[in-house]
Amino acid sequence: MRMVLEMCTVPRWLVWVILIIIPVTEGLAQAQETAQLFEQGNERYAIGAYSEALALYREALAHGYVSGALYHNMGNAYFRQDSLGQAIRYYEKALRLLPDNVQLHHNLQIARARTRDNFPSLPVPVWKPWWTRTVLTLGALGLFVIGLLFYVASIGLTAYRLRKGSRNPWLRRSRALTVVFGGVFLVAAFAASFTTTAQNRVVILAEEITLREGPEPDAPSLLTLHEGLVLDVLDTEATWVEVRLPNGETGWLSAEGTGEI
């Protein structure tokens, strides 16, 4: 009599559960590991071992752990090592994630006060900070949803008016306002979709660097800039970066002496 060996099977739903749980648990384990690196870095920082703290922070960053607190603490560690450019670099990175953090603003202000270059800044339009904050908070999708809700409300008011045959002036005004606000938010959503909130900037990491007219080492020099100055990026070419100073002047820097924010 032939013996038949049967394979052990499991329900198909259990297979899908396993396939979902395994990546989730692996992701949680990795997140826990990177969080531990961050905490270990904090412990080393607390006892004044700033180099060791930075090594742990960078390792956590390499594992994909990104947070405003991590950038903030990296800035603190660099500042303690008198690495002003790197300190400002990571304070600025943290500011994107923690725009309302009072301690971060205070630390960044202290670091900026130690920089050598002091250029007058171009005036910022009154509407720009408000618009940037709105885009960061709501995003294009949020603005679109709000605009859509206003339009749905206007349709509802119109349907109510037609059904009841009401000529109530308040109803008519409310319907007009919902249409206007709906249009404003939808236009804002369209504009926000083309708005870049994360401006491309660099900070000078070298003690001093020469601003030149073109992207060549022998191009005429314009200014000597110093560590910690934050600049807007206009263009890049090979190992050179075109920047705009706070006062609006432009020129080229060797990318080796700068760090991206």
Greatest Cα pair distance, the chain, in angstroms, is 96
Q: Measure Cα distances from 98 to 72, 159, 229, 239 in Å.
A: 9, 45, 21, 31
Looking at the fold, whether 108 and 134 belong to one and the same domain comes out as no
What integer best gives the mean pLDDT of the chain?
85
> 230: domain CATH number?
2.30.30.40
pLDDT for the residue numbered 14: 46
Crossing angle of helices 68-80 and 50-62, rounded to 10°: 150
Looking at the fold, whether 174 and 237 belong to one and the same domain comes out as no
Looking at the fold, whether 182 and 100 belong to one and the same domain comes out as no
- What is the residue range of 244's domain? 201-260
Give a yes or no: residue 122 inside a domain.
no
Give a yes or no: residue 9 inside a domain.
no
Looking at the fold, whether 86 and 134 belong to one and the same domain comes out as no
> 101: domain CATH number?
1.25.40.10
Residue ending a domain, choose from 192, 227, 246: 192
pLDDT for the residue numbered 158: 86
Q: Which amino acid is at 73?
A: N
Answer positive or negative: Cα dihedral of 118, 120, 126, 131. Answer: negative
pLDDT for the residue numbered 3: 43
pTM, to two decimals: 0.69
Radius of gyration, CA atoms only, the chain: 28
Domain count, the chain: 3
Q: Which amino acid is at 188?
A: A
Give the residue ranges of DSSP H helices in 81-212. Answer: 84-97, 102-113, 127-164, 169-192
pLDDT for the residue numbered 10: 38
pLDDT for the residue numbered 7: 43
pLDDT for the residue numbered 4: 42
Looking at the fold, whether 183 and 216 belong to one and the same domain comes out as no
Looking at the fold, whether 214 and 159 belong to one and the same domain comes out as no
pLDDT for the residue numbered 53: 96
Q: Which residues of the chain have pLDDT under 70?
A: 1-31, 166, 195-199
Q: Which phi and psi angles does 243 have, rounded to 5°?
A: -130, 160
pLDDT for the residue numbered 126: 80
Buried b (16+ CB within 10 A) or exposed e, 77-95: bbbeeebbbbbbbbbbbbb
